[in-house]
Chains A and B, each alone.
Chain A
Amino acid sequence: MPGREPPDTQVVRARLGLGARAARLLGYRELLVGMVRKELKVRYKNSVLGFAWSLLNPLLYLVVFYVAFDLILGSAIEHFEIFLLSGLLVWNLFSTGLGAATGSIVANAGIVNKVSFPREILPLASIGAALVHFALQALVLGAVLLVLRWDVAWEYVPLLPVALVALLVLTAALGVLLSAVNVYLRDTQHFLELGLLAWFWMTPVVYGFMTIGGREGAGKALFMANPVTPVVLVFQRAIYARLDTGGGSSAPRALSGEGVTAILPPWTWGEYALYLGLTFAVGLVLLAVGIAVFGRLEANFAEEL
């Protein structure tokens, strides 16, 4: 039987193609699940409240922003708490997922140096853990909405899973990319903290999209180019469901009415979907870049750690 290779044959060489990389990752999916569970378990180890922190965290944010924006600065947004939470939960998924993913390879240096397994698992597991926290928070928000008998915009609800997947693609892309860069340049981790803070304020989570989106100028283009914004907008449009402080949620109408401030853009369903599509496209392109860079850099991980 010369020429026939046994099924376990592996070729160790400098670089792995994209297809081989994906197939290898798929074979290790149980490890991915195990690593997500590990991340969840270790995160709140030795804290009294444990997993409750996952829910307490957005609530404390809510209190801070409510005091700062609603009570002190006098935000015109009614039901500020629903508005804030509908955007904050997705933002938190993005920022905690990306933050944990970036440090993941360095944090697991011990195992990277000893066992050969697809290293992408480490950043992906960090994002998976953030997703579990998000799901828990979203469940509680859903329950609160039910109790309040809150009117969500049902026609936008089908866009929510699409927005979630788009955000996960974007987070995974940046997480895989930055986790590899962080091995070589540990400053990445520290810089990211600051970068995420700036990014947060560039995303309409605490203030309405129309605060900046309603203006003209160069700043607006930058604001619109933020790939997290469409995801946040879709969540706000579906859950908060109010376009302006006049309570308008239906067809676009004159927004300059007395005492009425625009919050969300008066776009059609198609326009929201199209804007979201841009995030998807950006995410996929970044994912290809991220995997390519990761593949280029991972060869020297063991040497650098």
Chain B
Amino acid sequence: MLPAELKESLTEHIASVDHPRELVVDIMFAIQDQFGYLSDEAVEEVAQLLNMSPLEVEELATFYTFIYREPVGKYVIHVCDSVICWMDGYESIRDHLCNKLGVEMGETTSDGLFTLLPVCCIGYCDRSPAILINKKVYGPLTPEKLDDILENLRAQG
């Protein structure tokens, strides 16, 4: 399933380290970057590349917050819901996002652009309420600022 070029670079990387298993998260991320998420097939692929069992890969894939085992949108929005963002009103940010995008937390818009997910403290409490979009931070947020951000992303498609 992997494009030949990607497979080659991953194989090379794996051959260059003492303990291939240490790369399992990197390999999962690399494949996820290519396809957006980690499909069943991808789990098998990771296992084969690293000489692990698919089950060993699966227990990691489902453990980590930033590995997605289901299809996600082009932009994955992680909304911080930990205590400082809670104090600063993350709930209104979350509700505004849900209304604006017409989806619930955990869902993806029908145009495949946006996925909403909760996340715990992302380490930007000095900029709360804060969110991550594709691992890039935005904050402190207001509903107006959110509208601008969403519009910009939509314009980029």
Q: Do A and B come from one complex?
A: no
